Amino acid sequence: MFIEGKIDNLNIGEDYFNCNIVSSKNERLNIKLTKEQANDIKVDKVYHFEFEQVVHNDKIQNHLLNYQELFDYVTDPVELKEKLSEYYEFSPVSTTEIKLAIESYLSQITNQVLLEVTTNLYKTYEKGFYTYPAAVKFHHAYIGGLAYHTKTMLDLATKFIEVYPFINQDLVYSAIILHDLCKVKELSGFEGGEYTTEGQLVGHLVMISQKVVIEATKLGYQDKEEVLMLNHILLAHHGLPNFGAAKRPQTAEALLVWYVDTIDSKFTVLGEILDSTEPGTFTAPIGVIDKTKMYKHNIK
């Protein structure tokens, strides 16, 4: 027998191990575990369970046979987000729409070096990219937030490039698609949760820079200027060292990526907070806007 569900709680003693599961339809099931299974399974995570029913003392018990995190069990990112959205907060735009938009931008990259490097890394982390949040808290901290944030940045950057045609579109599109890609390695899981050891000690800016160098070397592009320019944008996309940047932006493209990243991270949060704020009143201090209280006016 099979069931998909979220671990609601664990009940563990010296000689008993079981968990309570809640399905997407709010069905509840208690399953008996082995000690090893109880040590491995985590509360609040969603799994695909295989179990069998056993009669013990005239009562039917459910014994766990196999289990797999839903993130690993479902391979298609669109289907995965649809299933996970039944258990967690998720992005306001469908994964299908976000994926079509991002891959449309990817297909517009004409520089062969940038196209190959970006496409290969995008394909490597595709499932996590459409499932992970953009942060543990502050902005886009929900299922699918990472890809949603990336799409919005691409939309913003396109308008800037129309106004300032000296900015290289290929570099900007490539950098935006890649800039937060290693958050799938920086964060402990798609639920947000916490930062991994590598995430805390290295961080996603340096991690993606390393991935670009490795991929470019595989393709024989390690000495190309495109790789150097792309890496500079990735290492500088937080703008200033006290915000986590390894370098300050020193090209037009790096400056633009920093700005649109900042704009989206602030305005998305502001919009969400204003939605729940009464007209004619101030918001609570907003962390991503230097703890400023923002006023919601009555003008229609």
Report pLDDT for 193: 64
Poorest-pLDDT segment among 91-95, 211-215, 245-249:
91-95
pLDDT in tens, 254-267: 999 999 999 999 99
Which pTM does this prediction carry? 0.80
Burial class (CB in 10 A: 0-12, 13-18, 19+), 176: buried
Rounded to an integer, the average pLDDT of 217-232 is: 98
Q: What is the mean pLDDT of the chain?
A: 90
Residue 109 in tokens: 């990259």
Report pLDDT for 164: 98
Report pLDDT for 227: 98
Rounded to an integer, the average pLDDT of 139-154 is: 84
pLDDT in tens, 54-112: 888 888 889 989 999 888 898 888 888 788 878 877 777 888 899 999 999 999 999 99
CB 192 within 8 Å of CB 143 = no
Report pLDDT for 55: 87
| Distance separating alpha carbons of residues 174 and 57, to the nearest angstrom | 63
Q: What are the DSSP calls for 230-299, one per residue?
A: HHHHHHHTT-SGGGT-SS---SHHHHHHHHHHHHHHHHHHHHHHHHTS-TTEEPPPBGGGTTB--EE---
Report pLDDT for 109: 98
Rounded to an integer, the average pLDDT of 239-268 is: 94
Rounded to an integer, the average pLDDT of 266-278 is: 92
Q: pLDDT-derived band of residue 27, with 50, 70 and 90 as boundaries?
A: confident
Report pLDDT for 139: 54
Length of the chain, in residues: 300
Q: pLDDT-derived band of residue 127, with 50, 70 and 90 as boundaries?
A: confident
Report pLDDT for 24: 84
Largest CA distance in the chain: 78
Residue 192, pLDDT > 70, answer no
The residue ranking higher by pLDDT, 287 or 176, is 176
Rounded to an integer, the average pLDDT of 142-148 is: 85
Burial class (CB in 10 A: 0-12, 13-18, 19+), 222: middle
Q: pLDDT-derived band of residue 204, with 50, 70 and 90 as boundaries?
A: very high
| Distance separating alpha carbons of residues 131 and 91, to the nearest angstrom | 10
Rounded to an integer, the average pLDDT of 173-197 is: 87
The residue ranking higher by pLDDT, 253 or 84, is 253
Report pLDDT for 194: 79
Report pLDDT for 197: 92
Residue 191, pLDDT > 70, answer no
Q: 216 vs 12, 85, 103, 108, 116, CA distance in Å?
A: 50, 36, 20, 20, 9
Report pLDDT for 293: 96
